[in-house]
Amino acid sequence: MALALAAGCAASRPVSPALEQARQHFEAGRYGEAVKRLNDALLRKLRSREVPRGYELRGQSQARLGRIDEALRTFQTGVAQYPKDINLLTHLGNLLHQNALDTQARPFYE
């Protein structure tokens, strides 16, 4: 029971302000600002459970800015570090599929 309570407390911890600000920029359509805030130095400072969301936001922002190569690198880096993160795997697969790279996308969907 104590383990379940500790897990619940960890899950309810507030999101770091830097990640929250980047998310707000993303939701407001200010993708360039989100990318700028989610630089490598900031990603290294995030809590380990927040890093995949940082890669996700940065990759999505880059994709929406039309920076497909950068978005692919971001998602690939995120997947390399968090190979079981379903969100990163899905975004990488989707981006590959949208760019007619279905053969490369398939393993990320599987």
Q: Which pLDDT score is estimated for 2? A: 47
- Does the pLDDT of residue 30 top 80, yes or no? yes
- Does the pLDDT of residue 48 top 50, yes or no? yes
- Does the pLDDT of residue 3 top 60, yes or no? no
Q: What is the mean pLDDT of the chain?
A: 85
Task: Give me the mean pLDDT over the 94-106 stretch.
Answer: 75
- Does the pLDDT of residue 1 top 90, yes or no? no
- Cβ within 8 Å of residue 33, ≥6 positions away: 25
Provide, rounded to the nearest whole percent, the portion of the chain with pLDDT above 70.
85
Q: Give the phi and the psi of residue 80 in degrees, each rounded to 5.
A: -65, -35
pTM, two decimal places: 0.80
Sign of the four-CA dihedral 73, 103, 107, 98: positive
